[in-house]
Structure 1
C-alpha cells in the first residue's frame, strides 16, 4: 500500500523562562503590555502533522510520501526524513519563506506563550496527484495548508482512492461547506470528541449524519482510548498504559501512524486502532513529537501485553 500524507512540516522552537510570567506582568497595565523574557536556552525539534505521522510510520517499517510545503531553512529536516526512508518528492520548497515554525516559551508553572509562523504553509503543495496509483494508494489529510485540505479529498474521492480526513486544529479555518464536502465519501473521519462537536456545530450535521457520510468515524478520547463508529455498531478501543506521561503532544499523530500501519497489514479499522493506541503511548513518554523510538520487536511485545497476539 502506498501511503500519502498531506499535512504540515514545521520546526518547534522551545524556550524555557526560569521564572513565572505572572511575576513580570502587571495586571493593571495589561492594556499596554510590553514585556521581555530572558530565556535560558532554545531547543529546536522537528514537528508538523505530516512529519510526525511519517516519522512514526518509519519506526513501524512503513514508507510514506509527504505532500507538504517548506521554506529555505528546511535542509536539516530534509536530511532526517530521507534517513528514515520517507519520500520527499511531494514537498514543495518556497524559497522566499521559512518553514512553518512554532515558538514556545514555557515558564516554571508550565504556562506557555506561543507564536506560530505559517511561513511556507501559506502555499499549496501543488503535487501532481496523477502520479498516485488508485489501485494501491491511501491518502491521509492532516491539518496543514487549507487549499490542500480542500483539494486533496476532492481528488481522492473523484479517483476512487480511499482517504482518511483528519481536520484537527484547522477545523475553525474551514467553512461548514468545506468540511461537509471533505467528509462526504471519506473512508475514515478521525477527530477527538471536542473536534467532533466543532464539526457538528460548523456543518449542522448530527453524529448520525456524519456516520452516514463516511465508512468509519474514529473518535479519540485521550487516556480513555478511542471509539470506532459505523452505521451498524460502535467499538471501544482501549489504551496501552504509558510508563510515564511527559508530553501528550504528538500522541494523536502517532495514533494515526499506527492506524495506517494496521490498514497496510490488512487489519480491520478497529484492529488498526489498537496499533494506533500502542504507537501513541511511546509518544507521550518523551518530550517532543519525534523524540521516541522503538524496534518492531519492542512494539509487538507491548501491543501483545494489552491486546493479545499480533498476527
Structure 2
C-alpha cells in the first residue's frame, strides 16, 4: 500500500434497532419488545469500516456529510475517541445527520427506513485532491451514485487501489456504474446472493471471469458456512481457498457482520498478510461484532483481535459445504 491512510466512501447513519412481536401491518399497532429501541447506534458501512480499522491501529477516515447536530448527538466524540480521522467530514448547517430505523419482527424479517439528510445527492460537494494525499486504499460502500462516482474517479486519478463492498442496490450502483466498479476495483467483496446476482446480471459462468490485471481478488462470504477467495496470479492462473467461521456461541445482532469481515480482511491486507490469514482476520472481527447490538459497540483493539484468532485458529478450518 503506497500511502498510509484508508479512505472510505459511503453513507453515515444514526441507527435505531426496533424489534416487534408481530409483522408490521398498516392499521395495526405493533408492540416493541426491546428496551434498546431508544438507543442510537452510530453506523453506516463507511463509518463501520473506518472505525474498526482505526481501533486496530490503521489510519482511516470516512468521507461524510453530517448535520450540525453531530456534536450534540455524540457522533463527533465517538469518532475522535477511536482515532478516526474527521478532516474529510463536511457539516451541512440546518440539517440532521442521516438516520435509520431498522425494524425486525419475530420471524427475523426486516424493514429499513432511512433518512438521508446531508448524504442526499443535492448536498453533493466535489472532493478536493488534498483529501487523497497519503491515501493507500479507497473503500467504496453504499452511497449516492454521484458521491461514489466522484470518489472512484479521484482514486483512479491518484493511482489509489479500490476495495469495493458490493451491495445489490440499483440506485447506488446502476448497471453501468456497477460494471465499471467490478472491472476496475482491486478487491471485490460480495456475499453469496450478491455473487449470484453479478453472475446473472452480466451473464458470467463464474464471477472469477472478471479477474484481470486490475481486479486481483474476489472474496465471498457464506454466512455461517465461512468465506472463500479467488486471486489472480501474475502468470494468469487463479489461486483459490476458503476458511470457516470463528465460533460465536451467542449471536445477538448480525447487523454489521459483513462490514466487520471487510474491516478484518483489509487490516490483514494492509499489514501484508496472505489471503487465508486476511479471511481468518475477517471472520474473527465479525465474531466480535455479532456479540452485541450495533455495528461498532464490540469492535476489538488489535491485541484482542489477534488474541481471539490465535485461540480459535485450530478450529476455523475450511468453509463448510
The question of a shared fold, defined as TM-score above 0.5 by the shorter chain, is answered with: yes
**How big is the shift at 1:14?**
2.5
Tell me how large the CA RMSD over aligned residues is. 2.4
> Of the candidates 12, 15, 26, which is equivalent to residue 9 of structure 1?
12
Ranges in structure 1 where 5+ consecutive residues have no aligned partner: 26-32
Instruction: State the distance in 2 between where 1:282 and 1:16 align.
Output: 21
CA distance in 2, matches of 1:3, 1:264: 9
For residue 290 of structure 1, the aligned residue among 262, 287, 296 is: 296
Aligned residues: 297
**Using a 3 Å threshold, how does the CA distance of structure 1 residues 108 and 162 change in structure 2: closer, same or farther?**
closer
Contact 1:177 1:203 in 2 (8 A): no
Q: Deviations over 1:138-175 (max 9, x none)?
A: 11111122212223223222332111011324355422
Aligned to 1:29: none
Distance 1:110 1:181, change over 3 A: closer
Matched with 1:278 is 284
Q: CA deviation at 1:51?
A: 1.3
User: More displaced, 199-208 or 3-12?
Assistant: 199-208
1:214 aligns with 2:215: yes
Does the CA contact (< 8 Å) of 1:63 and 1:87 recur in 2? yes
CA distance in 2, matches of 1:37, 1:201: 38
Aligned pair partner of 1:269 in 269, 275, 278: 275
Question: What is the SS of the residue equivalent to 1:69?
Answer: strand
CA offset at residue 38 of structure 1?
5.9
Provide closer, same or farther for how the CA distance between residues 71 and 242 of structure 1 changes in structure 2, counting only shifts above 3 A: same
Confirm whether residue 165 of structure 1 aligns to residue 168 of structure 2. Answer: no
Match of 1:235 among 241, 246, 252: 241
Q: How far apart in 1 are the matches of 2:302 and 2:246?
A: 16
Instruction: Write out per-residue CA displacement over residues 249-302 of structure 1, whole angstroms, 9 at most, x where no aligned residue.
Output: 111111111122112212233322221111111011112111114343332221
Q: 1:293 to 1:49 in 2, by over 3 A?
A: closer
Residue 74 in structure 1 maps to residue 70 in structure 2: yes
* 1:50 counterpart = 2:46: yes
| Aligned equivalent of 2:22, options 17, 20, 23 | 20
Please give the alpha-carbon distance, in whole angstroms, between the structure 1 residues aligned to 2:140 and 2:220: 16
- 8 Å contact from structure 1 (residues 144, 170) kept in 2: no
Structure-2 change in CA distance of 1:155 and 1:290 (3 Å): same
TM-score relative to the length of structure 2: 0.83
